[in-house]
Structure 1
Amino acid sequence: MTYYKIMVNRQRMWMLFLLAISVLGWGFTDYESIFAGLIFGQVVGFFNLYLLQKKINVVGEKAANNQAAKSLGALSRFAGAILLVVVVLRFPEYFHLIAAIVGLMTPYIVIMIDFIFHHKETTTTKRGE
């Protein structure tokens, strides 16, 4: 398994872990609308993460074969974010807007934290080499 696939699986695992914590918070606390917004944002964010990872894989394969790649699919990810905001604004009694936006940004935070913690695995050069 390549390093990229290991990283993708690790990021998906962390997203599912955070989603499970949010579901527990929704089920066992009195903050249903906040956790519902967080869950909805994390689901849309997880889908956006999946789309981004899939497009990066395609672009990497095309670059390895010296072919031109189209784009990273920002339009579909923006559409998901717009759909999230429209639904949350339409049903404010069920979803909290700020929590939904935080949930939408959760995958990018997971990507940054994953990079920080696993940066040492890729940089194994010693002093003086």
Structure 2
Amino acid sequence: MLDLHHIFAMQKKALFFLLALCALGWGFTSYPTVFAGIAIGACFGTYNFWILVRRMDKFDRSISEGRKVASLGSALRFGSGIAAVAIAITLPEYFHLISAVIGLMVPYVFLFIGVFVSSVRNKGN
């Protein structure tokens, strides 16, 4: 099974490709707000996943050292999602709201795809 740092590194690469596709879609289609919404949502979603990876490291260290377990940062990630939606609501001429919400879920879709590909590769070995 892949560790979280490896998954996060793969997600960053996928995010850069997604942002490049969003830039092309923003520049060359008649739906620039949709692509801008996906891009901002994906950036905030990746930030949320980074927070989760960082908090999981602290959680693992706390458990291994026998200390009290801290929170996994759900409030911070929830606040970040609210910020992405607030930007899309405040600036509807630049960002499409539904696309921003879909963009927030992109890192989790990448996560499921990565786990699926990893399990298929390991099954063949």
Shorter-chain TM-score range: 0.7 to 0.9
Residues 50, 86 of structure 1: alpha-carbon distance in 2 compared, 3 angstrom cutoff = same
Structure 2 unaligned blocks of 5 or more: none
Q: Which residue of the partner structure matches residue 119 of structure 1?
A: 119
Q: For 1:4-57, what per-residue CA distance to the aligned partner results, in whole angstroms no more than 9, with x for missing partners?
A: 432321222222222222122112222111111111111111111111111112
**Alignment partner of 1:62 is 2:45:** no
Structure 1 unaligned blocks of 5 or more: none
Q: Is the 8 A contact 1:38 1:103 kept in 2?
A: yes
Identity %: 32
Which is helix-richer, 1 or 2?
A: 2
Moved over 4 A (4+): 120-125
Q: Is the 8 A contact 1:33 1:93 kept in 2?
A: yes
Mapped to 2, the partners of 1:4 and 1:83 lie a distance apart of 25
Mapped to 2, the partners of 1:18 and 1:119 lie a distance apart of 24
Q: Is the 8 A contact 2:62 2:68 kept in 1?
A: yes
TM score, norm. by length of structure 2: 0.86
Q: CA RMSD in A?
A: 2.1
TM score, norm. by length of structure 1: 0.83
Q: How many residues align?
A: 124
Deviation at 1:85, TM superposition (A): 1.4
For 1:12-91, list aligned pairs within 5 A. 12-91=12-91
